[in-house]
Structure 1
Amino acid sequence: MAQLEANGITIEYEQHGSGDPLLLVMGLGGQLTDWPEGFVEMLVAAGFRVTVFDNRDIGLSSETDWEPPKQVRAVVGSFAKRPPRSEYTVVDMAADAAGLLEALGIGSAHVVGMSMGGMIAQQLTIDRPELVRSLTSIMSHPGDGRSGRIAGTVMARLARLREPTPETAPDRAVQSFLLWSGPHYDPVEHRARAARNVERSFRPVGTRRQTTAIMASPDRTPGLGEVTVPTLVVHGLLDRLVKPSGGIATAAAVAHSRLVMFPDMGHDLPAPRWGEIVDEIRRNADRAATSATSSAPTRPPTASAPGSSVLQDVSDR
């Protein structure tokens, strides 16, 4: 792993493989080590040079020093349309990602974001389109305040969880993911990774700051309407943290986007679906190479047989 200075902060990053540059943007509270090793290896095998990094306030990147509201309070405030005060927003985090690419000398990259990382990837594409070859938004939403809202029962259960300590954090991570993950979720493997992450960095207040940043961020829907790079949207039909409407709204906002929804996926990356997701990312990246000389494909929405993915190409609206 290595560090560099970008956008006024220190960013911890790591690179894997060679080939087409691809930036992976992690979600809320996640460290770069939360990307499954096997998933990254598949991306490398698909011909990508993968860069992963810690977002600000998490892992080994710069930590800020302001006191955010409690996480549940910030979420409740968003339901009441009272955005919390925040020292930064997703816009600033997208500028971090842009600064990382520029500091690494990467002129442009395929950008893949998961959950909050999807929001950052969307904003980066809106603000710095010259840096983005293709966009993949996984289990995210456009920030319109309506789509992708957390299930009420999940929020209520989260409110009853105690603040983590270094000793309780691994078990609390498992308890949280059991609320929104799909049937392929492996709590034993997740707890082991969470324990390793605690040893690397323990910043629960950073997760609260990032939550506040999400809630204080502007609606990206108008900006997404101007996006012209090939766009893939992936979502799980079992997602209860960011409901499937978030993925649907994201795809609806971007002309010619491709929407892929998995019936056995919650708010997680199910290992049995890694191959399909990587294939879709590769296909979306390949569209970028031909987009200058051919128009985006338009096909009617199609639903596959039960047990496989629901596919939709979103055409002119």
Structure 2
Amino acid sequence: MPRAAAEGCSLEYDTIGPDSGEPLVVVQGLGDQLTKRDDGFPQALAARGFFVIRFDNRDVGLSTHFPDAGVPDLGTVATGSAQLPYRLEDMAADVVAVLDAVGVDRTHLVGASMGGMITQLVAADHPHRTRSLTSIMSSTGNPALPPATPEAITALTAPAPDPSDREAYLNHVAAAAQALGSPAYPYDEAELRATLLSTVHRDHDPAGTQRQLAALLANGDRRAKLRRITAPTLVIHGADDPLIPPAAAEDTASTVPGAELLVIPGMGHNLPRELYDRVADAIARFAATPA
């Protein structure tokens, strides 16, 4: 796969769909590799005429990792005293670096969870590179928003077993995925485990995910920046998201000028295959909105 040169790192990326299509970059969530949802969602976007660009965020997949930075103390991140190897703004600049490498001037932005936060920053700080923004299962960082459910917090913070114990590790991450997933669209357990195993074989760096989380937490409240976004913006969220409650989507849509909100019943903090076409249709329709 090709690589893009960014500030202090290089980024693995690929493209799907017709070169003549409108560019659309997909930005992944916390710890997710570019192969996330490789069972049909990028292909659904490409089928709607988009030239889809996706990449491994820094510290995950085959992009540059930062092992010398160690594992951050998330408690010091909360106090503002942590020394971080990068910030969420750096990850937003990475999106621009990928666009430069591909030779794309302006693009549609689609980001999920942490990826939604990154694309929000791209749209706010790089408006000349943004045609539209779709923020999925994400948030503004508003500290007054309701927290995750206790079950979701436990799923994220429970200590993981040694990944060398394949069975125990797969049981752990599969249970976490089930806890965060969509009640109306449950995972197929065997398929989920096969996907997770393939992901671990491509790359496994829990410390990198913690460094991404530190960058996310340090970013704080983005509402002042979101008010500056001028691109057409679509906010998509699950009505049953246990990690980022739907109030976060309402806050995002009310903060970004002119944003449209789509809340999907039965959807949790994942994008089930059964919803790929619905979400791709919504993005395609919205991308046609005049900027």
Q: TM-score, normalised by structure 1?
A: 0.84
* Number of matched pairs: 283
Stretches of structure 2 lacking an aligned partner (at least 5 in a row): none
Which stretches of structure 1, 4 residues or longer, exceed 6 Å deviation after superposition?
none
What SS does structure 2 have at the residue aligned with 1:173? helix
Q: Is the aligned partner of 1:225 residue 2:227?
A: yes
3-state SS of paired residue (2:98): helix
Instruction: Work out which of the residue numbers 44, 47, 54 in structure 2 matches 1:45.
Output: 47
Indicate yes or no: 2:262 matched with 1:277.
Answer: no
Map 1:1-317 to 2 at 5 A: 1-18=1-18, 19-64=21-66, 65-69=68-72, 74=74, 82-83=79-80, 85=82, 86-147=84-145, 149-166=147-164, 167=166, 168-183=168-183, 184-186=185-187, 187-287=189-289, 290-291=290-291
Structure 1 residue 276, shift from structure 2 partner? 1.2
Does structure 2 conserve the Cα–Cα contact (< 8 Å) formed by 1:68 and 1:212? no
CA distance in 1, matches of 2:148, 2:162: 21
* 3-state SS of paired residue (2:104): coil
Q: Aligned-pair distance for 1:233?
A: 0.4
Distance in 2 (alpha carbons) for counterparts of 1:43 and 1:66: 36
How far does residue 241 in structure 1 lie from its aligned partner after superposition? 1.2
Q: Decide whether aligned partners of structure 1 residues 162 and 84 sit closer, same or farther in structure 2, where only a CA change above 3 A counts.
A: farther
Which amino acid in 1 is paired with 2:248? G
Evaluate the alpha carbon distance shift between residue 268 and residue 157 of structure 1 in structure 2; reply closer, same or farther with a 3 A threshold.
Answer: closer
Which piece of structure 1 moves more, 241-250 or 47-56?
Answer: 241-250
Q: Distance in 2 between matches of 1:133 and 1:157?
A: 36
Residue 102 of structure 1 and its aligned partner are, at CA, apart by 1.3
C-alpha distance in structure 1 between counterparts of 2:133 and 2:217, whole Å: 22
How far 1:190 sits from its partner (Å)?
2.0
1:99 offset after TM fit, Å?
Answer: 1.0
Q: Which amino acid in structure 1 is aligned with residue 271 of structure 2?
A: L
Identity of aligned residues (%): 37
Kindly tell me: are residues 77 and 237 of structure 1, through their superposed partners in 2, closer, same or farther at Cα, counting changes over 3 Å? farther
* Structure 1 spans left out of the alignment, 5+ residues: 292-317
Checking the alignment, whether the CA contact within 8 Å between 2:4 and 2:97 is kept in structure 1 is no
Query: Could you tell me how far 1:43 is from its partner in structure 2?
Result: 0.4
How far residue 87 of structure 1 moved from its aligned partner, in angstroms, is 2.3
The Cα offsets for residues 57-83 of structure 1, whole Å up to 9 and x where unpaired, read as 00000011212336xxx3x778xx534
Whichever residue aligns with residue 185 of structure 1, its letter is P
Instruction: Give secondary structure in 2 for the equivalent of 1:33.
Output: coil
- Which structure is higher in RCO with an 8 Å CA cutoff and minimum separation 6? 2
SS in 1 for 2:221: coil
Q: Distance in 2 between matches of 1:227 and 1:217?
A: 17
Contact 2:28/2:56 (<8 A) preserved: yes
Indicate conservation of the 8 Å contact 1:9/1:61, yes or no. Answer: yes
1:156-208 Cα offsets, whole Å, 9 max, x none, are: 35433334514244332211111111131323222111101111111111111
Q: Deviations over 1:203-250 (max 9, x none)?
A: 111111111111111421011111111000000011111111111111
Change (3 A) 1:172 1:102: same
Q: Distance in 1 between matches of 2:173 and 2:247?
A: 25
Q: Does the 8 A contact of 1:148 with 1:244 survive in 2?
A: no
Secondary structure at the counterpart of residue 63 of structure 1: coil
| TM-score normalised per structure 2 | 0.91
Q: 1:154, 1:69 → 2: CA distance? A: 21
